[in-house]
């Protein structure tokens, strides 16, 4: 995976909370901090995101995206 964003933080998903349109994905990084991301439900399903998955929190400007 190549991205223009330079801020990639590896972590583990600790929670996926599905709403009516969006989903909150919580990622625990190495120091125990939780990084939360709001992404579409379609993205959660397309990437098959689930608790325990190792992912990257990708931070660019004001957005936090998830890469797997």
Indicate if the pLDDT at residue 59 is higher than 90: no
Q: Is the pTM here over 0.75, yes or no? A: yes
- Asked whether residue 66 carries a pLDDT value surpassing 90, the answer given is no
The stretch 42-57 carries a mean pLDDT of 96
Distance in angstroms (rounded) separating the CA atoms of residues 43 and 64: 13
pLDDT at 61 over 80: no
What CATH fold (topology level) applies to the domain 7-67?
OB fold (Dihydrolipoamide Acetyltransferase, E2P) (2.40.50)
CB neighbours (10 Å) of residue 8? 14
Contact 39, 25 (CB under 8 A): yes
Residue 2: per-residue pLDDT: 77
Residue 63 has pLDDT above 80, yes or no: no
């Amino acid at each position: 995976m190549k991205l223009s964003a330079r801020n990639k933080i590896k972590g583990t998903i600790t929670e996926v909370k599905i709403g009516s349109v969006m989903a909150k994905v919580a990622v625990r990084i190495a120091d125990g901090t939780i990084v939360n991301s709001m992404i579409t439900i379609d993205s959660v399903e397309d990437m098959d995101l689930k608790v325990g998955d190792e992912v990257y929190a990708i931070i660019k400007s004001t957005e936090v995206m998830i890469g797997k």
